[in-house]
């Protein structure tokens, strides 16, 4: 199967080349607008974005949240804004890629909390969705896209020692070209792929 990753490490500057299909950019853009408004308004589905530091000490926890919540919120909003403003780019600097990673993971955590995903080893079958009209289906599809983005970014930022995720865990194969038209992808850079070159002895 032909595999075309959505992200690729750029060894020239340590940045990331971006090749996300147009449809997925559109989905992500809409999700970001909703997520930003949810961040500003607060809610139970955002609890994983502001985890407690002192579970057994309520007094210390109150102080921690009082001092740190606003700082964490500001950082997450800045990352969301950067992702929104650069969503159509073909290249990210290393710093921008880290901000994308933060924003995508935060959005993934919110959607996962809404779906009831709270443990490692989770698979889509755990939701037991049998009806095409189930309102959770759209969220599950968004969660799969976010998982693909997250793993793709991690693979591009840390190309050494990182392995692609199992499509059975994602619920879809993010690199399956059969799901997208070639026109949905940005043109790939003409640079030779270093993996195609055999290392010299």
**Model pLDDT for residues 54-99, shown as the tens digit of each residue:** 888 888 888 887 878 788 888 888 999 999 999 999 999 999 999 9
Place of tokens 């002192």: 54
pLDDT tops 70 at residue 149: yes
Q: What is the pLDDT of residue 192?
A: 45
pLDDT tops 60 at residue 30: yes
Q: Band of the pLDDT at 183, cuts 50, 70, 90? A: very low
pLDDT tops 50 at residue 153: yes
- Cβ–Cβ under 8 Å, residues 63 and 124: no
Residue 167 burial (C-beta neighbours within 10 Å; 0-12, 13-18, 19+): middle
Alpha-carbon span 99 to 20, nearest angstrom: 17
Q: Give helix 22-41 / helix 94-115 axis angle, nearest 10°.
A: 70
Q: What mean pLDDT comes out for the span 136-144? A: 82
Q: Band of the pLDDT at 181, cuts 50, 70, 90? A: very low
Helix (H, G, I), strand (E, B) or coil at 34: helix
Give the number of other CB atoms < 10 A from CB of residue 95: 11
Q: What mean pLDDT comes out for the span 133-155? A: 85
Secondary-structure breakdown of the chain: helix, strand, coil percentages, each rounded to the nearest 5 = 55, 5, 35
Tell me how far apart the terminal alpha carbons of the chain are, to the nearest angstrom: 30
Contacts of 151 (CB under 8 A, 6+ apart): 164, 165, 170, 174
Residue 20 burial (C-beta neighbours within 10 Å; 0-12, 13-18, 19+): buried
Provide, rounded to the nearest whole percent, the portion of the chain with pLDDT above 70. 70
Task: Enter the pTM of the model.
Answer: 0.70
Q: What is the pLDDT of residue 124?
A: 66
pLDDT tops 70 at residue 195: no
Q: Compute the mean pLDDT over every residue in the chain, rounded to the nearest whole number.
A: 75
pLDDT tens per residue, range 88-136: 999 999 999 999 999 999 898 888 888 777 666 666 666 777 777 777 7
21's tokens? 């299909």
Alpha-carbon span 174 to 150, nearest angstrom: 11
Report which of 64, 48, 47 is spatially closest to residue 56, judged by C-alpha positions. 64
């Amino acid at each position: 199967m032909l595999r075309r990753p959505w992200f690729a490490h750029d060894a020239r500057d340590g940045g990331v080349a971006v090749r996300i299909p147009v449809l997925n950019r559109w989905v992500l853009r809409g999700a970001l607008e909703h997520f930003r408004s949810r961040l500003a308004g607060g809610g139970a589905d955002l609890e994983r974005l502001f985890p407690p530091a002192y579970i057994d000490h309520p007094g210390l926890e109150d102080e921690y949240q009082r001092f740190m919540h606003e700082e964490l919120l500001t950082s997450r909003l800045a990352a969301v804004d950067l992702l929104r403003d650069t969503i159509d780019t073909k290249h990210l600097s290393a710093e921008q890629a880290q901000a994308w990673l933060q924003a995508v993971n935060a959005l993934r955590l919110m959607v996962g909390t809404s779906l009831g995903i709270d443990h490692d080893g989770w698979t889509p079958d755990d939701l037991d969705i049998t009806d095409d009209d189930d309102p959770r289906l759209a969220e599950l599809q968004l969660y799969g896209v976010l998982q693909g983005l997250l793993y793709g970014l991690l693979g591009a930022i840390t190309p050494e020692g990182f392995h692609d995720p199992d499509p059975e865990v994602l619920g879809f194969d993010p690199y399956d070209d059969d799901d997208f038209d070639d026109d949905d992808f940005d043109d790939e850079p003409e640079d030779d792929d270093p993996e195609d070159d055999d290392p010299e002895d």
